[in-house]
Amino acid sequence: MTNLANPNNHNIFALQMCSGLNADDNIAELKKALSTLPAKRPLLVCLPEAFLVFSKSGHDTLLIAKHIEQYKRQISQLCKQHNIWLNAGTIPEPYNDTKYYAASHLYNNQGECVATYNKIHLFDVNVDDKMGSYRESDFTQAGSDVVVVESPFGKLGLTVCYDLRFSGLFTAIVRKGAEVILVPSAFTMVTGQVHWQALLAARAIETQCYVVAAAQYGTHENGRQTYGHSIIISPWGNTLSNLPSGTGFISANADLEQLKKIRRDMPVQSHQRFREHLL
């Protein structure tokens, strides 16, 4: 793990997990991890995509979605108990009887959900791994809203995993004022080895934002392999903290004054002459 300063002085933490089939077990792992946080507050904790359940099928995830409120109450209580802000990776929120949203909720330290982003870009691709193909849209409904929210850590832009490949979304996020962009993820081992860090660094540099990517890692109970390499990147493209393998926290401090200086010295957003719109 790379940390450039004392974690006790950091205000952003990202948790790398290897989530399994049982939501209660994954919540228990989260509770254990939160008990290790330093005393400093305010604190933002970021979880990976599908932190709550890494199912064998969309059918199984749909069953969790139908009982999601009990888990949301537990997440809310943990935020109050530990006095933290928390981006809950993604959890399945019901859309209708056959589909759910991959919803990324942001909770404040009072346990209130202050923002929700529903994953826009769905992972319908062929990959040269044991799964062969992924069809996220079979059970997941795509979102349509760009979400940026005020917080004690700066203006947070919310994205999820495959969104990372679509720079237009990140441009829209920074135009809405984002200073820190969260990218909870579960990249495949195959795609992660080639594209993960390059994409994250590019998004940080072009938006001049901090990028925080909490990731899934390892071989999961459903047979999938995820890449890990959770990472926090500065607006200048420097790696501030990373965890190639295993589970646990990485952390860094989001220095908004440094961000403002970078943007003053190289005002790329004011130089931007192209405009894009969500289809």
Q: What is the pLDDT of residues 158-198, one digit of tens each?
A: 999 999 999 999 999 999 999 999 999 999 999 999 999 99
Bridge partners of 181?
157, 211
Report the pLDDT value the prediction gives residue 230, as an integer from 0 to 100: 99
Residue 133: φ, ψ to 5°: -150, 155
Residue 32: what residue type? K
Report the pLDDT value the prediction gives residue 245, as an integer from 0 to 100: 98
Q: Are 213 and 199 in contact (CB under 8 A)?
A: no
Residues 6+ positions from 63 with CB-CB distance below 8 Å = none
Give how far the C-alpha of residue 129 lies from the chain's centroid of Cα atoms, to the nearest Å. 23
Please report the DSSP string for 146-158 in residue order: --EE--BTBPEEE
Among 60, 20, 31, 13, which Cα is nearest to 226's?
Answer: 20
Residue 54: φ, ψ to 5°: -115, 85
Mean pLDDT calculated for residue range 46-69: 95
Alpha-helical (H) ranges within the chain are 23-34, 58-65, 68-82, 167-175, 189-207, 256-265, 268-271
Q: Please, is 87 exposed, middle or buried when counting C-beta atoms within 10 Å of its C-beta (0-12, 13-18, 19+)?
A: buried
Q: What is the pLDDT of residues 131-154, one digit of tens each?
A: 889 999 999 999 999 999 999 999
Residue 264, pLDDT above cutoff 70 = yes
Rounded Cα distance between 279 and 268, Å, is: 24
Give how far the C-alpha of residue 209 lies from the chain's centroid of Cα atoms, to the nearest Å. 15
Residues 6+ positions from 40 with CB-CB distance below 8 Å = 8, 9, 10, 11
Residue 103, pLDDT above cutoff 50 = yes
Locate tokens 């947070």: which residue?
Answer: 156
Confidence (pTM) = 0.95
Residue 277, pLDDT above cutoff 80 = no
For the chain, percent of residues with pLDDT exceeding 70: 96
Report the pLDDT value the prediction gives residue 254, as an integer from 0 to 100: 97
Residue-range domain boundaries for the chain:
2-267
Among 187, 230, 185, 240, which Cα is nearest to 209's?
Answer: 240
CATH of 2-267, one of 3.30.360.10, 3.60.110.10, 3.40.50.720, 3.40.630.10: 3.60.110.10
Report the pLDDT value the prediction gives residue 4, as an integer from 0 to 100: 44
Residue 130 — pLDDT band, cuts 50, 70, 90?
A: confident
Report the pLDDT value the prediction gives residue 266, as an integer from 0 to 100: 98
Q: Please, is 248 exposed, middle or buried when counting C-beta atoms within 10 Å of its C-beta (0-12, 13-18, 19+)?
A: middle
Q: Are 263 and 31 in contact (CB under 8 A)?
A: no
Instruction: Report the catalytic residues.
Output: 49, 119, 161
